[in-house]
Structure 1
Amino acid sequence: MIRQVLRVSATETGTYRTVSQALAAAPDGAVIAVAPGTYTESLTISRAVTLSGDGTPGSVRLESPMGSTVVVEADAVRLTGLTLHGSDADAAVLDIRRGQTAVENCTVAGDQAWAAVIAWQSGHLAARNCTVTNPGGAGVVVTSPADNTLEDTAARDFGSSAVVVAENGRLTVRGCTVERSGGNGICVNGQGAVTVENTTVADSRKPAVVVEQDARAELMRTTVTSSASLDAYLTSKGMTTLIDCRLTGSGGQSLHIGGGASPRLRGCTLDSAAASGVQVTGGSTPRLEDCAITGTPLAVIVEDGSRAEFHRLRISGAQRTAVQLGGEAAAEFRELSVGDGSAGLRVTGSAQLTLKAGEIEAERGTGLEANEGATVLLTDVRLRATGDWGLAVSGGARIAAADSSVTGAGVLVGTDGEALLRDSEVSGTAGDGARVLGGGTLIATGCRVHEAQGHGVNVQISGRADLTDCLITGNVGDGVRSNSEEPVLVQHCDVSGNGGGQVNRLRSQDGVPASAGAAEPAGEPAPGRTVPRRTGAGWRPAPQARWPNSTPWSAWRA
């Protein structure tokens, strides 16, 4: 098939003088070749044609001060090698209303245009190797449900948002650069859906990536960088996934998850945010796998009744707090790694933290602190701290640790705090291995406390302790030191080789006289309590050990 070619030139003979004249004469399938120059026209394309610019890029300019420069209402249109310019604050420069429009090697630019490009109604945008800019308005707006695409395109310098997908719009953004937006870099809402691949979103004044309402989004191998305040704002009830993405250099926060959203992140890095890494709020339920949060003061915040899962999360350089939970939230971490200058974890406000198989090295402050009625469950966790305490619990909070270790700094059980340690180790602490303050309760079963620079276990006035089948040895001070009038039980334990007394009671309790410096034999179990025996295989815990008036240990570990 031979396609008819119509030529447009302001100076050449035998050509159309305007593009509008050529369009009026062109049959379906025609090619309209436009010579270099500026053409001030407002075009409506209503038949299947190709509009092609001759000469070097940018040499053919179509512009309209009023309305859209090009409106497409045809089944198939191709625009190539053109610069489209408009400045109407109530119109898009390129308005695609019906049919597929292929836009290749074009520049679509506005001064104060409402948008550079809109694809709506039954319009279908397929843009490749283009430049889109509009300092006074938006960039690309899509509400059409067709398979719209934006590929290998530079979208830059917008007064508002660069890419907007709304209503039932669908858009794939692939291999693009989206930068310097006065609003969002990419915003998807309504019931829109966006797929973003191998794209960079940079220098957004407002949240760079926004997914809200019932929208859906999939981001893969995408970098969001240098946002003024927030890299990604995810509140949609629709499915949102981020895979192998990098959020870096935010002036505030990397990632905000709210509104009950349930996004999934895999293989993502959140790097160098000025304030915080990820905040989960508003009853949201995200899941993060194989992600890293680096170089931000506060790495993870979970609050406001949210439920979050983190698998193989790596946190480094969180100098203020690695993980902060509050507001009756719950978070489960599996194989958590914290290090490289990070501070520890803090759980408050009736929140619940579950850690399984983690490595935590807290170089600032307390390793893990729980108060205000919080609950912490640790299984197979290695915690090393260089501050005053490795674990600290008070204010109606509880910590239960199994098969875990605390080194460098000890365990502090403060007022109204409870700590249950089972098959765990406390060693090499700068002060006491464990200290129990007034109103605190420590239950340790099958544990080892050794090499403390202070006492092994130090129970102060009005504190309580129940030590069963434990090894307490090699501590600089007393093995067990009690200054409490409350029960301090030492049962079937090996307390030996300590620098001071072995079991040193400074005051009487329950009618038992003080015996400072004396080594006491293991006592008999309290009525109704099961006490384990030492076996040849080592130290074995008591079955069904319980918090006082509380839940059996087997339920805590489930």
Structure 2
Amino acid sequence: MDRPNRIGDDPRTTRWGHSNAMAQGTVQVTHTGTSRWRRRTGEYASLAAALEAAADGDVLTVAPGTYRENLVVQRAVTLRGPEGAQGSVRIAPADGVPLTVRASAVIQDLHVEGQDAAAPAVLVEDGTPELLGLRVVARSASGIEVRGSARPTVRRCTVDNPAGAGIAVLDGGGGVFEECEVVAAGQAGVAVRSGAHPRLERCRVHHAAGSGLTATGEGSALEAVGCEVYEVRGSGVQVTGRATAHLTDCDVHRTTGDGVTLDTDAVLTLADCRIHDIPENAVDLRSRSVLTLTRTSVRQFGRNGLSVWDPGTRVDANQCEIFDSTGDYPAVWVSDGATAVLDSCRVHDVPDALFVLDRGSRADVVDSDLSQVRNTAVSVSDGATAQLDDCRIRDAATGAWFRDHGSGGTLNNCTLDGNRTGVIVTKGADPTIERCTVDSPSEAGVYVS
């Protein structure tokens, strides 16, 4: 016996109240149930009618055409376009959310268009659905939005949304985004907030009017592996308000603002990343933020490579390289009570390598190379402290300069080679120099005044 195909008194209206009158094409439902009263296949004139008739496990194959419907997927079905005709099915209602997913469904090879600036184009609210090969072209609040208990897998999807965020993960939402691309966004390319925690793998984010990747708020956590962020007007990566992020093997380049920005108790780890071609600071952190860099390169920056400010703010860099400055600023700037640790790092081809300023500011540099420095390799002033152990400083105008009263620290077992002046101590500064070698200065080995 065939299952009844009645959706309500008015066949043009779905159970959710959305009009089907402008739908084009047909939808074939392949039923997988074994109940005798269910037929194995059926064709429906609208997507909403097909979704109403389908049960968990059914496959809905959508004929090419434009469907002016607001879809709500509430069962674990497969909803897909025709094989080999990706993009031929357009979901394009006049307003509202074009596609809402509330179940562990599979949504594949659809073109979704959103026109409502107050709503997302694709909204995932529950379940562990798979979104595969979607193209989202919208002028919406967000292209793809994930919230609450939803944990989708989003693979090979493209988002073009010049009116809002590209991808937004909110309110504890999560999920994995694989090989996705945000080609344009009017705000952040990927926004994570309110305790959300997505993972991005091999994604590209570019041409965003805001930051490329942003994580905000306590409990929010962003993980990105093998991703690329470029051509964004804000920071490439922004982490603020007690949020955390972990980036591995990522590229951040060609931003208009800073490459990476941390503020207000943010925590970020960069491992095997590359930050380059940045007109401002490559990395800027403030207000008790903590940054850990491992095997990461920073090059071609217009201001500071690392800019570290405020008490409680700390950067730890291990086996990193900072080089090829394009501006006239120190490669590493530590001030206002901040702390920087450089371990087994290389800083070269820069105007100045390390500036430490202000009482309470401190830099610890271990087994590192500072070379090809146009001006001063290490400058300590205004009551700051710098400790260098087993370091090599060469080819600088000045190797280390302790500038004024209260500024100090230690040079221990360091080699200063080929500098114009090895060490300068002025205006009552009081460093300790132990077991150091000053070789081939063109002016003075140690100058005290």
TM-score by length of 1: 0.70
- The counterpart of 1:405, out of the listed 421, 437, 444, is 437
Cα deviation for residue 12 of structure 1 reads 9.1
The one-letter code matched in structure 2 to 1:286 is V
* Matched-pair contact (CA < 8 Å) for 2:422–2:445: no
Equivalent position of 2:289 in the other structure: 261
Q: Which amino acid aligns with 1:323?
A: L
**8 A Cα contact 1:29 1:49, kept in partner:** yes
SS at match of 2:255: coil
Task: Kindly indicate whether residue 368 of structure 2 is the aligned counterpart of residue 336 of structure 1.
Answer: yes
- Paired residues of 1:138 and 1:160 also in contact (CA < 8 A): yes
Report the Cα offset of residue 23 of structure 1. 1.2
- Amino acid paired to 1:35: A
Deviation string 1:165-201 (CA, Å, 9 cap, x unpaired) is 1111010000111111110111011121111001111
Counterpart in 2 of 1:424? none
Supply the distance in 2 between the matched residues of 1:170 and 1:339 (Cα, whole angstroms): 41
User: For residues 459-504 of structure 1, what are the alpha-carbon distances to aligned partners after superposition, in whole Å with 9 as ceiling and x for unaligned?
Assistant: xxxxxxxxxxxxxxxxxxxxxxxxxxxxxxxxxxxxxxxxxxxxxx
Match of 1:285 in 2: 314
Q: Secondary structure at the match of 2:260?
A: strand
Deviation at 1:316, TM superposition (A): 1.2
- Alignment CA distance shift 1:432-1:214 (3 Å): closer
Q: CA separation in 2, counterparts of 1:97 and 1:433? A: 68
Q: Encode CA deviations 1:213-270: one digit per residue, 9 max, x unaligned.
A: 1212111111111111211112353542111111111111110121112221111101
Query: Of 18, 34, 37, which residue of structure 1 is paired with 2:46?
Result: 18
Distance between the aligned counterparts of 2:404 and 2:447, measured in 1? Answer: 19
1:134 aligns with 2:161: yes
Is residue 2:260 matched to residue 1:227?
A: no
Identity %, equivalent residues: 25
Q: Partner of 1:247: helix, strand, or coil?
A: strand
**Structure 2: which 5+ residue stretches go unaligned?**
1-22, 29-41
Q: Please give the alpha-carbon distance, in whole angstroms, between the structure 1 residues aligned to 2:202 and 2:448.
A: 59
Q: Which runs of 5+ in 1 are unaligned?
A: 1-7, 410-429, 438-558
Structure 1 196/435 Cα, relative in aligned 2: closer, same or farther at 3 Å? Answer: closer
- Which of 357, 361, 374 is the aligned partner of 1:326? 357
In structure 2, what is the equivalent of residue 369 of structure 1? 401
Q: 1:244 to 1:431 in 2, by over 3 A?
A: closer
| CA distance in structure 1 between the partners assigned to 2:99 and 2:128 by the alignment | 14
Q: Residue 39 in 1 paired to residue 103 in 2?
A: no
**Is 1:116 aligned with 2:147?**
no
SS of 1:286's equivalent? strand
* Contact 1:350–1:375, Cα closer than 8 Å, also in 2: yes
Q: Go from structure 1 to structure 2 and tell me whether the alpha carbon gap of 1:79 and 1:342 turns closer, same or farther (over 3 Å shift).
A: farther
The answer as to whether partners of 2:26 and 2:44 remain within 8 angstroms in 1 is: no
Measured after TM superposition, the shift of residue 28 of structure 1 is: 2.2
Pairing partner for 2:210 from 183, 187, 190:
183
TM-align CA RMSD: 1.9
Specify the alignment match of 1:306 in structure 2: 338
Specify whether residues 11 and 266 from structure 1 end up closer, same or farther in structure 2 by C-alpha distance, changes over 3 A only.
closer
Tell me, yes or no, if structure 1 residue 155 matches structure 2 residue 171: no
For residue 83 of structure 1, report the CA deviation from its aligned partner: 0.8
SS at match of 2:355: strand
Please list, as runs of the form range in 1=range in 2, the aligned pairs for 1:183-262 lying within 5 A after superposition. 183-190=210-217, 191-235=219-263, 237=265, 239-262=267-290
> Looking at CA atoms only, which structure, 1 or 2, has the larger radius of gyration?
1
Distance in 1 (CA, whole Å) between partners of 2:63 and 2:264 is 48
* Match runs of 1:379-528 below 5 Å: 379-387=412-420, 389-409=421-441, 430-437=442-449
Secondary structure, in 3 states, of the residue corresponding to 2:125? strand
The residue type equivalent to 2:345 in the other structure is: L
Of the two structures, which has the highest relative contact order with CA contacts closer than 8 Å and spacing of 6 or more?
2
Aligned positions of 1:54-93 closer than 5 A: 54=82, 55-74=84-103, 76-93=104-121
* 3-state SS of paired residue (2:279): coil
CA contact (8 A) 2:65 2:89 kept: yes
How far apart in 1 are the matches of 2:404 and 2:119? 56
Change (3 A) 1:341 1:354: closer
**Separation in structure 2 between the aligned mates of residue 122 and residue 141 of structure 1, nearest angstrom:** 14
Task: Label 1:435 to 1:394 Cα distance change in 2 as closer, same or farther (>3 A).
Answer: closer
In 2, Cα distance between equivalents of 1:398 and 1:207: 39
Secondary structure of residue in 1 paired with 2:231: strand
Question: 1:272 is paired with a residue of what secondary structure?
Answer: strand
In structure 1, the partner of 2:10 is none
CA contact (8 A) 2:399 2:416 kept: yes
Number of aligned residue pairs: 405
Q: TM-score, normalised by structure 2?
A: 0.86
| Maintained 8 Å contact 1:316/1:342 | no
Letter in 1 for 2:314: T
